[in-house]
Amino acid sequence: MTFLPVLFTVLMGAAVLAYVVLDGYDLGVGMLMPAADAEQQEVMVASIGPFWDANETWLVLGIGLMLVAFPLAHGMILGALYLPVVAMLVGLMLRGVAFEFRLKALGWHRELWNWLFWFGSFLASLAQGFMLGLYITGFETDFARLGFSLLVAGGVCGGYVLLGATWLVLRTEGALQRLALGWARWGLWWVALGVALVSLATPAMSETVRDKWFVLDFPRTFIVMLLPLVSAAAWLWVWRTTGQLKRGESVPEWAPFAGAVAIFVCAFTGLAYSLFPYLVIDRLTIWEAAAHPSALSAVAWGAAVVLPFIVGYTVFSYRVFRGKAKAGLYGH
């Protein structure tokens, strides 16, 4: 039953990708809060209000799948990432508290909670990127690898800002939408720089990754090289559609967000290809880390029951709360 570790790897990866995209845009909106005025901030909060808490379900699902399907990897990974995980949780808790408290605060207290909402969003995003950098390097902590992890952290923050800005393009209108279009184009350059630097640095950090991408093996090499091309096409799509919307041309408002999601999907696919079949690079494969086949079979049945409910609820909530966000939805 060697297919079960692969199945759970795919499920875990899908859950993490769903979290990165869904919680990524609301973290991005949080990081953009200081760039807007008070009235625009209310609309920004309303645009993520019905979704932001439920988006974190996918993170819980991904970690839960790792715990039950790959217990050895769960202990090794979370043990090595203890401090950045704590920082991420502090950021997520802080933004959750700030989101609720700002609703009842008045005057400068509300401004304070807005800033704490921004700080919690930034801290959680930075910690997630730093964890990703450490994970890619196999949890090595020399100066070069710590610098690489900080570089990845900056790139993740930029990617979340792009997701948040394009989400606001979809969910807002008027002056705030025009601002969001500008933020999206600025975020695109941030993402381009981050992806370029990380793509150049990653092969230097790992011989395994370098061999995967640069050892010629046709037709695999040709297929893999399509990923950067698709990423570049998605980048150009976002740039083009945001420019057209700024000029008032008839373009679907969902187009920039779809392009931003495509960039993340390509980056995630490239990362998965680089690391597979390792859960801890060069140290622990999915088969070595997997639980007993009987345990995996039992969990697979549980996942078959639970996953449709999670997906169904997510689709239902986004359908119910579709449309433009309005100020005051989460006011007094």
The whole-angstrom separation of Cα 299 and Cα 70 is: 12
How many Cβ atoms sit within 10 Å of the Cβ of residue 153?
22
Query: Band of the pLDDT at 145, cuts 50, 70, 90?
Result: confident
**Can you give the pLDDT at residue 181?**
93
Of the two residues 235 and 280, the one the predictor is more confident about is 235
Residue 58 near residue 306 (C-beta atoms within 8 A):
no
H or E element, residue 56: none
pLDDT tens column, 276-326? 888 888 788 888 888 888 888 888 888 888 888 888 888 888 888 888 877
pTM reported for the whole predicted model: 0.90
How many angstroms separate the CA atoms of 194 and 181, rounded? 20
Query: Around Cβ 82, how many Cβ atoms within 10 Å?
Result: 9
Which positions ≥6 away from 154 have C-beta within 8 Å?
126, 129, 194
pLDDT of residue 285: 87
Q: How far is CA 203 from CA 14, 137, 182, 256, in A?
A: 24, 10, 33, 30
Residue 250 has pLDDT above 70, yes or no: yes
pLDDT of residue 215: 67
Mean pLDDT over each residue of the chain, to the nearest integer: 85
Q: What pLDDT does 163 receive?
A: 94
Q: What is the DSSP letter of 247?
A: T
What does the longest C-alpha to C-alpha distance in the chain come to? 64
Q: Which residues pair with 280 in a beta bridge?
A: 284
Beta strand residue intervals within 170-283, DSSP E:
278-280
Helices 3-32, 57-69: axis angle to 10 degrees equals 150
* pLDDT score for 330: 57
Amino acid in the structure at residue 292: H
Token code pair at residue 301: 């049945």
* Backbone torsions φ then ψ of 218, nearest 5 degrees: -75, 140
On whether the CB atoms of residues 59 and 19 are closer than 8 A, the answer is yes
